[in-house]
Chain A
């Protein structure tokens, strides 16, 4: 007996074929049974109790066929088995899991093509593999060239051919890091105003109105893991929502004049000394209508205060300008002090609107909507070097004219809850 075994082993390694065929058949069979079951159930009407079993069975079918394929990747039956398992799952998964159904359809198409491919003569297989490589890297080129100015041909290729392929693989990045020029980061500062429910009388412990500022991302509180993934992901949140689109006033002078009139009426909020900041900056379309309202709803969800209702959320997009080198080393003027990178006047807040908890803009004609509410060094003042965040309010007010505090009606430098007096509340 032992001799037989040794003789066999001398000739070739143990054959995984039977095992592979077993797993492939089991996977494909389970997938096809699931397919039949799924069609029947879907025709009978949704039965939610079966959702999880359908999902689990679908994944087991794919896993089984996947094991079969992994044991014999060079055999067409492995690919065909997995293709059938995917096909079964694509209709066997509950209809509500439509994105998984789509994934399985793509998986089925891909694996069944491979099954056919393995039957073809070897030179043909090599030509096809080479063609795929060419196709793939032309696609990567179309993604790389997708930012403006985009060649017409690449635009057509990108939209009509490659977009679904590369978005599915998440290989649609243009890799234009720190270009054309490296720029400052953006933050969001949000002022949440809480009110006592109408049927509850205020007491000394429970004032009628509270305010809390939420700033993100902030390093000290959001750098939660050693390599700061939680922080950088929040920084990405702000980057995506910070793009602005050219305002339409260039074709609508009436609206521009109306916005300018409303802005001019707020004489208590000075214009920013840098003229670039003195035009209204509309958020880009996607940010304005989809992303920012979603952020607002999330902040409202993440920062509730017990016993209070959220009345409104004022959102500011804050560009954190990088201090120029001469200011940083104190050489801007012969007698100037060096400035910190956290210099308050380097934060440029632009009002994005006051929202309700559903992310709806409360006042679409708020005078400062999409205008900068600047933080400025008072004329003639030379703030000493240090971290202004740690200064007292009196010292801060001595050096800085903070129109954000005036506009919001509360102090953004305070962390945690603040009581809002009746006459306070900022811009009305």
Chain B
């Protein structure tokens, strides 16, 4: 897609230009290298903790993680004013929630477990509850539950006598009203005589289902009284008990679910979905060797991604590998991991291996070889490849996604701070710079500096005010002002200062570095190309004379041209014995010295001084620039190697 070939869609042209106009991929390639190095470190740091974080007995153990993955409820409010059962929707939330106090909770759970699985038996046991829960006067419900408590203490031990005793207690025939009967709700007092026997049977059946232990009974009754303090709650609890599965195992599972997650998964008004869409190798294998092998494979992909080898494949596998770690144990994650996934996802979309990568070098080599074989002919596609990475729409899309997401992060972080008081009264600085778990207060000098600096109250408040205002202004202002190209440099510098401070003072080094990676998306690709990498016309001018008839010389010329990212080398075609490199000062190098001299003169390789510390890297480079042995080349190598032209 070239800029001019963007489709003309009325109303969407500006949108399309913003997201899809081709751009220089240098920027996103640069981010890939920095980001890759950081995530490699993050994952190497896991090595001593593989079992502690991802094993069967991890901090968040496999059993708990699996339960969370498969069961975690997504609670939701009903869309309408009324839920499916006709009650006001906002009242439904958490109405079957169990008590927090664990002794009370256990009593309620035990009661639910004790309910008969058989539907008829359960209906019989809950007939009294059914009779009272739907009373229009909630006081009736409470009074009836109180009655159950009183009866548990009033009835004789001999169950055979219960029915008779209960009738006497509830409906005394004498002139003296007993305490229990005087507190009865009106609807019981006025019950027709023929209904009384049925009521007594229901009460006895419900009493049988309730715990025998007095404390537990009071906990269960207390739970009902709280949970059903509204009509909605009454409905919910009744429905929950009535609709428990009739299969004993399923019933147990449903009650255990309520105990774990405090909600009824069978209520579509409350639980929209169960489980989380997460995946991980560690959900299925907790063997240390297998985990280590998986980790090693993942780190290999990170290395490939960082250096940009097979990037389209290695970036997707790196993304997959990262998610395997993140999905297994969210308990050990923090803001850094969120930033990591943002960058990783957008670097995959942005096809970040298009520049500053081995893939790019491979493409250059292919083009350089075609050009060298061409013997001086013009080969447009090869010349285009060697001129620099092509502008692509994927690079622009990846960069834009990072930029816009960064604005979200800043806006959310800045605006949410306005909810607190400490950012308004300028006290927020202190807890961030003196938090012993984050800050470098273990260093005496840092503690001494803080003590000296804030000896004076005015200094403390001036510093606090400065930090709070700077943070708020930057985080809230950047998402809006960063699009103004004149202001952008100042905002980027401000953000660099902020994240450097976070990295040093608050100890969140990798988080700070990842934020800087995100921030790099605002730096124009040309700035990175000219300041950080190798701009055109840098370095010494070189002329390489070679023969396009000799495969070895073609290969050497192609290698030299591959690394010639600053366009230093001019190719000239000659005879086989003419192989020579003319340097900027006029010296001519011949034979085997051509490769090694070019290696020293190419500005890109001069920038590889750090990589030379990697064992074997120097040898690898030498082998690349070595002229393959052939008769002519051997002859050439015997001639004087350097001469003044």
Contacts and interface: CB of A to CB of B under 8 A. Distances in A.
B374 A6 contact: yes
A387 to B, nearest CB: 10
A46 to B, nearest CB: 13
Interface residues of B, number: 130
B373 A341 contact: no
B416 A176 contact: yes
A181 interface: yes
A338 interface: yes
A184 B67 contact: no
Nearest to B104: A255
A31 to B, nearest CB: 16
A12 interface: yes
B106 A185 contact: no
Nearest to A235: B437
A168 interface: yes
Contact of B373 (A5, A163, A187, A322): A5
B228 to A, nearest CB: 12
A219 B416 contact: no
B482 interface: no
B331 A290 contact: no
Given A10-B379, A126-B12, A328-B454, A159 B284 contact: no
A233 B508 CA distance: 11
Contacts of B416: 147, 174-176, 179-180
Given A97-B284, A181-B428, A248 B101 contact: yes
Contact of A341 (B58, B218, B441): B441
B617 interface: no
A270 B587 CA distance: 89
B312 A156 contact: no
Please report whether the interface of chain A is mostly helix, strand, loop or mixed according to DSSP. Answer: helix
B435 A234 contact: no
A322 B427 CA distance: 12
Interface string A1-40: 0100110011011100000000000000000000000000
B312 A70 contact: yes
A156 B75 CA distance: 10
Contact of A325 (B323, B382, B430): B430
A174 B412 contact: yes
A217 interface: yes
Contacts of B262: 285
Given A126-B6, A361-B102, A73 B278 contact: no
Given A301-B57, A328-B450, A156 B431 contact: no
B49 A230 contact: yes
A325 B460 contact: yes
Nearest to B353: A70
Find the residue from A96, A137, A185, A237 having the highest chain B CB count within 10 A: A237
A173 B338 contact: yes
A320 interface: yes
Interface of B: 6-7, 9, 12, 15-16, 19-20, 41-42, 44-46, 48-49, 52-53, 57-61, 63-64, 67-69, 74-77, 79, 99-104, 106, 218, 222, 226, 229, 259-262, 272-273, 276-281, 283-284, 310, 312-313, 316-317, 320, 323, 326-327, 330-338, 341-342, 345, 351, 366-367, 370, 373-375, 377-382, 385, 397, 401, 404-405, 408-409, 411-413, 416-423, 428, 430-432, 434-438, 441-442, 447, 450-451, 454-455, 460, 507-510
Interface of A: 2, 5-6, 9-10, 12-14, 63, 66-67, 69-70, 73, 96-97, 99-100, 102-103, 106, 122-123, 126-127, 129-130, 133, 137, 140-141, 144, 147, 152, 155-156, 159-160, 163-164, 167-171, 173-185, 187, 217, 219-220, 224-225, 227-230, 232-237, 239-241, 245, 247-248, 251-252, 254-255, 259, 282, 285, 288-291, 293-295, 297-298, 301-302, 320, 322-325, 328-329, 338, 340-342, 361, 364-365
